[in-house]
């Protein structure tokens, strides 16, 4: 049996559940610009702007509402210590951050939080409030973030599904995470997922949500997730932006934030194929640089620094954007948004995600190996059966537990109707209905765990809990 001790950092400020009775922080200056380094003097008037900032292998987005309020969602990687984001905000003429949103506590999303708070509290007009899903991290970056919140007495609100974010000039719906954390309190799978809408235009922010949280989102809200623009999850990771989510959201355009030479291979080819199959135009900060969406509530204008293809499956062939690029953004496309993306469309349907490959069934869990689990890994195993009427091609499918350990089925593995396959935790030679994980320690908890199987496109076909 595997046991895990999770360290946690005590919050240095009180995390309070955000509610509709909370008064909105004061508005900030929201002057905008079409180029880095030259701020305009006019304030936004009836226009929603979402700036996806090119911050390499991390994430940060600036929202300017029609009422002139500013929202900063994440702040880039800790290596940059907020420098890229602060420079960008200054170049846009932003003097105050009304709302600082933390998607989750990973250092590539909160890397500039402390610096941003200090900068605007000492050299600007302050930070109105911070919103955080409340899943702690033990990193020094997280500690510095909380220290800055305490030092400058910035209100910090634990924000989860159903919370009301008091952002003036837009409608906001918070979809996740739920009150009861998902996936054994995994930070990615408990990302703060929310949508900002201005009349017919809406933008869905998904943080690093993966298979588990996407399953929760789709099964809870269904097509209530419909949005005009989708910020693809987890930098274009294979485990995010799955088929079920894309079919629920039905975005007119998607944007991916990751480095061109990502050490993780982001965006993954499977994600690009999912977008391409659905003919969803895709912008990638690695090739397009900064990407800006501007809408009057009906018409959406998309701008980017670099001109490049938006055919998702062709993005890898495009030239990399120079990260030092200070060129202005220019209009790349314009379209009329649908009228079916209103926040009022949110209606939890209580359904589940299904797929045509849903014939795979978990028929046996043998978590308690004889003797010491860690010394008898071949005796810890799961058995699956094809209970459907057609052969399943399991190649590329992923088996995972609640803690996020992952096993990928080898290419060429098929399962005919009525056939079974056993996946042992230890090492061995695959064949004759036997597969081996090759783990160096026990995976499945004797006292209960969650078994999750997803297709190579991210669709959930098995999600069983055992005790």
Cα 375 to the chain's mean position, in Å? 37
DSSP letter, residue 68 = S
Q: Is the pLDDT of residue 143 over 60?
A: yes
| Of the residues 316, 345, 374, the one at which a domain ends | 345
Going by pLDDT thresholds of 50, 70 and 90, the confidence category of residue 458 is: low
| Of the residues 345, 379, 398, the one at which a domain ends | 345
Q: Say whether both 178 and 316 belong to one domain.
A: yes
Give domain status of residue 401, yes or no: yes
Q: How many domains does the chain have?
A: 2
User: How far is residue 15's CA from residue 459's CA, in Å, rounded to a whole number?
Assistant: 34
Q: Say whether both 148 and 208 belong to one domain.
A: yes
The least confident of 113-117, 297-301, 321-325 is 321-325
Give domain status of residue 286, yes or no: yes
DSSP string, 317-385: GSPPPPTT--PPPEEEEEEEPPS---GGG----------TTTTEEEEEEE-S-SS-GGG-GGG-EEEEE
Q: Is the pLDDT of residue 131 over 80?
A: yes
Query: What digits encode the pLDDT tens for the residues 157-186?
Result: 999 999 989 999 999 999 999 999 999 999
Segment 222-226 shows an average pLDDT of: 95
Going by pLDDT thresholds of 50, 70 and 90, the confidence category of residue 344 is: very low
HSE, CB side, 13 Å, CA atoms: give it for residue 107.
11
Q: Say whether both 310 and 375 belong to one domain.
A: no
DSSP string, 80-95: TTTHHHHHHHHHTTB-
User: How far is residue 456's CA from residue 270's CA, in Å, rounded to a whole number?
Assistant: 8
Q: Tell me the residue range of the domain where 330 lies.
A: 16-345
Segment 10-15 shows an average pLDDT of: 40
| Of the residues 290, 320, 345, the one at which a domain ends | 345
Q: Say whether both 156 and 223 belong to one domain.
A: yes
Give domain status of residue 8, yes or no: no
Q: Say whether both 213 and 318 belong to one domain.
A: yes
Q: Say whether both 144 and 275 belong to one domain.
A: yes
In the beta sheet, which residues pair with residue 291?
Answer: 52, 304
Going by pLDDT thresholds of 50, 70 and 90, the confidence category of residue 459 is: low
* Residue 110 near residue 141 (C-beta atoms within 8 A): yes
Segment 226-242 shows an average pLDDT of: 95
Q: Say whether both 34 and 82 belong to one domain.
A: yes
User: How far is residue 56's CA from residue 244's CA, in Å, rounded to a whole number?
Assistant: 27
Going by pLDDT thresholds of 50, 70 and 90, the confidence category of residue 339 is: low
The confidence score (pLDDT) of residue 327 equals 86
Q: Is the pLDDT of residue 67 over 70?
A: yes
Please, what is the average pLDDT of the chain? Answer: 85
Using the Cα atoms of residue 138, residue 139, residue 141 and residue 144 in order, give the sign of their dihedral. Answer: positive
Give domain status of residue 448, yes or no: yes
Q: Is the pLDDT of residue 348 over 50?
A: no
Using alpha carbons, select from 323, 308, 315 the residue that is nearest to residue 259.
323
Q: Say whether both 321 and 365 belong to one domain.
A: no
Give domain status of residue 355, yes or no: no
Query: What digits encode the pLDDT tens for the residues 243-289?
Result: 999 999 999 999 999 999 998 899 999 999 999 999 999 999 999 99
Say what the pTM is. Answer: 0.69
Q: Is the pLDDT of residue 75 over 70?
A: yes
CATH classification of the domain holding 389 = 2.60.40.1260
Q: Say whether both 218 and 301 belong to one domain.
A: yes
User: How far is residue 255's CA from residue 48's CA, in Å, rounded to a whole number?
Assistant: 17
Give domain status of residue 313, yes or no: yes
Using the Cα atoms of residue 16, residue 109, residue 210 and residue 162 in order, give the sign of their dihedral. Answer: positive
CATH classification of the domain holding 180 = 3.60.15.10
Give domain status of residue 353, yes or no: no
Going by pLDDT thresholds of 50, 70 and 90, the confidence category of residue 453 is: confident
Q: Say whether both 64 and 150 belong to one domain.
A: yes
Query: What digits encode the pLDDT tens for the residues 304-333?
Result: 999 999 999 999 999 999 877 788 999 999
Q: Say whether both 286 and 365 belong to one domain.
A: no
* Residue 314 near residue 288 (C-beta atoms within 8 A): no
Q: Say whether both 326 and 389 belong to one domain.
A: no
The least confident of 330-334, 342-346, 407-411 is 342-346
Q: Please report, rounded to a whole number, the percentage of residues in the chain having pLDDT higher than 90.
A: 70
Q: Is the pLDDT of residue 83 over 50?
A: yes
Give domain status of residue 354, yes or no: no
The confidence score (pLDDT) of residue 340 equals 56
């Amino acid at each position: 049996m595997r046991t895990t001790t999770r360290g946690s950092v005590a919050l240095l400020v009180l995390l309070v559940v955000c509610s509709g009775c909370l008064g909105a922080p004061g508005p900030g200056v929201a002057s905008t610009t079409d180029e880095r380094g030259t701020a305009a003097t006019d304030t936004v008037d009836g226009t929603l702007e979402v700036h996806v900032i090119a911050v390499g292998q991390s994430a940060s987005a600036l929202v300017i509402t029609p009422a002139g309020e500013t929202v900063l969602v994440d702040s880039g990687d800790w290596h940059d210590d907020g420098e890229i984001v602060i420079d960008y905000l200054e170049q846009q003429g932003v003097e105050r951050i009304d709302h600082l949103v933390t998607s989750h506590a990973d250092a590539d999303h909160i890397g500039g939080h402390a610096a941003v708070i200090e900068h605007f509290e000492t050299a600007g007009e302050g930070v109105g409030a911070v919103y955080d899903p409340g899943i702690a991290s033990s990193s020094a970056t997280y500690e510095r973030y909380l220290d800055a919140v305490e030092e400058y007495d910035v209100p910090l609100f634990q924000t989860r599904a159903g919370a009301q974010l008091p952002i003036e000039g837009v409608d906001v719906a918070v979809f996740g995470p739920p009150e009861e954390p998902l996936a054994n309190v995994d930070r990615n799978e408990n990302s703060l997922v929310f949508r900002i809408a201005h009349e017919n235009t809406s933008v869905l922010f998904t943080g690093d949500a993966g298979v588990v949280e996407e399953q929760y989102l789709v099964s809870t809200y269904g097509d209530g997730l419909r949005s005009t623009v989708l910020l693809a999850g987890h930098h274009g990771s294979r485990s995010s932006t799955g088929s079920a989510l894309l079919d629920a959201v039905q975005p007119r355009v998607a944007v991916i934030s990751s480095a061109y030479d990502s050490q993780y291979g982001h965006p993954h080819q499977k994600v690009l194929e999912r977008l391409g199959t659905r003919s969803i135009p895709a912008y990638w900060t690695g090739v397009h640089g900064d990407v800006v969406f501007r809408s009057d509530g009906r018409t959406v204008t998309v701008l980017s620094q670099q001109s490049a293809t938006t055919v998702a499956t062709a993005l890898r062939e495009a030239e990399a954007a120079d990260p030092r690029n200070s060129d202005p953004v220019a209009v790349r496309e314009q379209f009329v948004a649908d009228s079916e993306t209103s926040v009022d469309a949110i209606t939890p349907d209580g359904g589940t995600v299904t797929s045509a490959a849903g014939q795979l069934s978990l028929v046996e869990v043998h978590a308690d190996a004889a003797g010491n689990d860690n010394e008898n890994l071949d005796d810890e195993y799961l058995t699956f059966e094809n209970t459907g009427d057609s052969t399943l091609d399991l190649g590329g499918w992923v088996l995972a537990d609640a803690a996020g350990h992952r096993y990928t089925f080898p290419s060429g593995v098929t399962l005919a109707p009525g056939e079974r396959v056993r996946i042992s935790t230890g090492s061995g030679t695959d064949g004759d209905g036997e597969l081996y994980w090759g783990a160096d320690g026990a995976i499945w908890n004797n006292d209960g765990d969650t078994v999750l199987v997803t297709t190579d496109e991210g669709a959930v076909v098995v999600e069983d809990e055992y005790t």
